Amino acid sequence: MISDLGNANTQAWFGGQVQKIVSTSASLGAAKFNRLRPEEDTLALFDGRTHNLDGVEGVLEYVRWREADAMKNSVGMLAAHHFSHRVLTGVPVRERKAMLADKGFSWDGLDQAVRQGTFVRRVLTEEPVTYWHGKLYEFKTLDVQRNVWTPVVGPTSRPWSPWAWAGRHKTAKP
pLDDT digits (tens, 9 = 90+) for 151-160: 887 665 555 4
pLDDT of res. 51: 76
Rounded to whole angstroms, the Cα distance separating 37 from 111 reads 22
Rounded to whole angstroms, the Cα distance separating 110 from 116 reads 10
Kindly report, residue by residue over 27-65, the tens digit of the pLDDT: 988 998 899 888 988 999 988 877 777 777 888 888 888
H helix or E strand, kind and range, residue 165: helix 162-165
pLDDT of res. 72: 93
Q: Which residues of the chain have pLDDT under 70?
A: 1-8, 154-174
Rounded to whole angstroms, the Cα distance separating 161 from 151 reads 18
Other beta carbons within 10 Å of 65: 10
Q: Which residues share a beta bridge with 116?
A: none
**How much is the pTM?**
0.60
pLDDT of res. 103: 95
Q: Does residue 43 contact residue 70 with C-beta atoms inside 8 Å?
A: no
Q: Phi and psi (nearest 5°) for 71? A: -65, -45
Instruction: Say how many Å lie between the first and final Cα of the chain, rounded.
Output: 24
Listing DSSP states for 49-118 in one string gives ------HHHHHHHHHHHHHHHHHHHHHHHHHHHHS-HHHHTT--HHHHHHHHHHTT--GGGS-HHHHH-E
